[in-house]
């Protein structure tokens, strides 16, 4: 089972979901009456593949075989959440708390469920008795307090979070957001700009500084900051993505378009990149480039059906400017 499970996880990471589903189905059949483990894995793979009803059916079968198996209960809850049945999902996650192995995962799922419903008082009540590691609770405390409009308390939690876990990126992002709400954007932007220039500070300070520049309307400065970050981070896709948007915002489309193309080759389903890419090509007068690029993407990602619609829209845009789409 260990070798098969290792292969299953590898397939999930590679997004080879049909292969992962086939593997889990074979292993569950081979396990017979003790197939709850592989039925649980099958549910996970089906859910990742968007086959939610089948994922719920597999989890139900696992729960019938092992009613107190926390991992099966969590998988069932996750499928129910994807179906939009938050109440039933929450009940399943609470059942999973009896399994010590799955309890930490179930607790996080309960917090996500309560948070998704915006029941912030219940989030706080659960946090008071959840017995989770502090590193796992700080983000939920901040989110719940902000949801209740108790921003001063949320900021104090950020300070405790950073005191216990210095320079945690998530804490710094939340602190910056809360400070902007309290002080306005300019003083916070200047503060993070100074911090970003201190030697040895982690890149998150520069990322927040660039985000604040962009948010304050200084797209040119943001583009320069993201470009510097990109050089320092050896082409981190997340930074490249932000750089591309900042360049497009500041109308440096000639530099934004190649970056967007590089990113879309890696993530052809990124709707935000697609939404920015064609307008940037239009501003450059290079719709033919977009036409050719989408054909290239279809060769690289033939299963990405949405590209056909985007290609069709580019063709129509070319007709409007009297450019005949290439044959």
Q: What is the pLDDT of residue 324?
A: 60
d(CA 148, CA 51): 35
Per-residue pLDDT tens for 279-304?
A: 999 999 999 999 999 999 999 888 88
Average pLDDT in the chain = 92
Judge whether residue 233 has pLDDT over 80: no
Q: Per the confidence metrics, is the pTM higher than 0.85?
A: no
pLDDT (tens digit, 9 = 90+) per residue, 123-172? 999 999 988 999 999 999 999 999 999 999 999 999 999 999 999 999 99
Q: What is the mean pLDDT of residues 59-75?
A: 95
**Angle ∠(281,285,286) on CA atoms, nearest 5:** 55
Q: What is the pLDDT of residues 168-221, one digit of tens each?
A: 999 999 999 999 999 999 999 999 999 999 998 998 999 999 999 988 988 888
325, pLDDT greater than 70: no
Query: What's the pLDDT score for residue 228?
Result: 85
Report whether pLDDT(313) > 80: yes
Query: Does residue 1 carry a pLDDT above 60?
Result: no
pLDDT of 327 > 60? The answer is: no
Whole-number pLDDT of residue 218: 86
The pLDDT value given to residue 105: 94
Cβ 154 vs Cβ 146: under 8 Å: yes
């Amino acid at each position: 089972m260990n070798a098969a499970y290792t292969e299953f996880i590898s397939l999930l990471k590679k997004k080879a979901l049909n292969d992962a589903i086939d593997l889990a189905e074979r292993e569950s059949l081979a396990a017979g009456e003790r197939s709850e483990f592989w039925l649980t894995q099958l549910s996970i793979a089906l859910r990742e593949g968007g086959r939610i009803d089948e994922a719920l059916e597999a989890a139900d079968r696992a729960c019938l075989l092992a009613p107190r198996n926390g991992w099966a209960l969590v998988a069932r809850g996750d499928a129910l959440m994807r179906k939009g049945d938050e109440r039933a999902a929450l009940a399943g996650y609470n059942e999973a708390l009896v399994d010590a192995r799955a309890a930490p995962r179930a607790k996080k799922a309960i917090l996500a469920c309560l948070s998704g419903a915006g029941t912030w008082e219940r989030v706080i009540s659960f946090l008071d008795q959840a017995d989770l590691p502090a590193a796992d609770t700080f983000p939920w405390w901040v989110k719940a307090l902000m949801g209740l409009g108790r921003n001063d308390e949320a900021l104090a939690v950020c300070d405790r979070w950073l005191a216990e876990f210095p320079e945690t990126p998530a804490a710094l992002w939340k602190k910056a957001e809360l400070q902007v709400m309290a002080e306005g954007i300019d003083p916070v932007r200047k503060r993070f700009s100074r911090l970003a220039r201190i030697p040895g500070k982690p890149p998150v300070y520069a990322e927040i500084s660039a985000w604040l520049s962009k948010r304050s309307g200084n797209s040119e400065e943001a583009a320069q900051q993201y470009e510097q970050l990109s050089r320092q981070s050896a082409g981190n896709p997340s930074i490249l993505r932000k750089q591309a948007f900042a360049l497009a915002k500041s109308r440096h489309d000639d530099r934004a378009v190649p970056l967007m193309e590089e990113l879309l080759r890696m993530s052809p389903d990124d709707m935000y990149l697609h939404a920015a890419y064609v307008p940037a090509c239009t501003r450059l007068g290079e719709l033919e480039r977009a036409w050719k690029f989408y054909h290239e993407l279809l060769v690289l990602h033939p299963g990405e059906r949405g590209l056909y619609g985007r290609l069709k829209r580019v063709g129509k845009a070319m007709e409007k400017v009297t450019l005949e789409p290439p044959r």
